[in-house]
Amino acid sequence: EIVLTQSPGTLSLSPGERATLSCRASQSVSSTSLAWYQQKPGRAPRLLIYGASTRATGIPDRFSGSGSGTDFTLTISRLEPEDFAVYYCQQYGSLPRTFGQGTKLEIK
């Protein structure tokens, strides 16, 4: 099983700042099969990025993903108030599909 470790656990930033979230895999993720989701309290997750860097439909271009192998990054270029949430990475290159434990992005 591929274990995904996200860092930091909590990130405190202000609107307008740049956010950089990390996801590290315990072994190489095949074919950049890495996705990112956003979840707000009491809501279902929302797909942001798949294929490590492809934005899902309707996702603003301030969200970008990068990385390959074992190291992946989600970057939010300029934080908007609605971006404060929990973010999860997910690998889908091998079974079982696994998620990271999440990074909480909170308002500073």
The least distance separating another protein from the CB of residue 13, rounded to whole angstroms, comes to: 21
State which residue, 18 or 97, has the beta carbon closest to another protein: 97
Q: Shortest distance, CB of residue 45 to another protein, whole angstroms?
A: 6
Nearest to 25 by CA among 91, 74, 96, 95: 91
**How many residues does this entry show for the chain?**
108
Footprint of another protein on 48-107 (CB under 8 A): 50-51, 56-57, 88, 90, 92, 95-102
For another protein, the binding residue among 33, 64, 66, 70 (CB under 8 A) is 33
Dihedral-angle region of residue 48 (phi above 0 means left; psi in -120 to 50 means alpha; beta otherwise): alpha
CA distances to 47, 51, 59, 61 from 56, in Å: 6, 10, 6, 10
- Residues at the site binding another protein, with contacts judged by CB under 8 A: 1, 33, 35, 37, 39, 43-47, 50-51, 56-57, 88, 90, 92, 95-102
